[in-house]
Amino acid sequence: MTKKLISTLRHNRVVPLVQSDSPDTALKISEALLEGGLDVLEVVLRTDAALDCLEAIAKEFPKAHVGAGTVLSADQSKAVIRRGATFIVSPGLDPASVDVAKEAAIPILPGISTATELQSAWNMGLRTVKLFPASVVGGPKMLKALSSVFRDVEFMPTGGVNPANLKEHLAIPAVLACGGSWLTPKDAIEAGDFGAITKLAKDAIAIANS
């Protein structure tokens, strides 16, 4: 599963965040993203219904890579795995969550923002991490600095990545993909304009391929 996910990320290079307090709406968001060509979806645990949304998406779109984001603890890691998550993304580096993911044999991309945190992740055997919040901790300059030392690590910067700077991030060889909430804008979701989400997905892929 890890190799398949990494291969898909290397192809699409963009990971949209799916956030909703309604499984039905979450399904519509996911369908719009899939129609736009993005089939790695990160369902973030930022609403009370997030686990229900995750489970609904995983069941409805079994061919997609459906993971869970904003996972904060080992208990949450176990919960998202039970609900069908095929990968885990967290804002920080939690050793207990890493252990849960390893035991379940699914990928985990923990968030790091310093060389010390990255060195800890590296010594846990992790070679793919999330730089978060990317725009706050140095963005492309930080990625270049870290990748010059940790030469076998790939990054998924998230936080402040947008269409204006996506290409700059992806131009760095160590960047596997970028995560972003700009692909699922709240105003479009509230207006039921899921076609706008499909267009944003297609535009992101075009930028990544340019």
Known catalytic residues? 42, 130
92 contacts 111 by C-beta, under 8 angstroms = yes
What tokens appear for 107 in the block?
A: 């990928």
- Helix or strand holding residue 166 (H, E): helix 166-170
5 contacts 31 by C-beta, under 8 angstroms = no
- Helix or strand holding residue 147 (H, E): helix 139-149
Encoded amino acid at 164, one letter: A
Side-by-side strand order, sheet with 154-155 = 111-112, 128-131, 154-155
Measuring CA to CA, how many Å separate 53 from each of 10, 40, 57, 80, 187?
26, 15, 6, 11, 19
* E-assigned strand segments in the chain: 14-18, 40-44, 65-69, 88-89, 108-109, 111-112, 128-131, 154-155, 178-180
What tokens appear for 157 in the block?
A: 């910067």
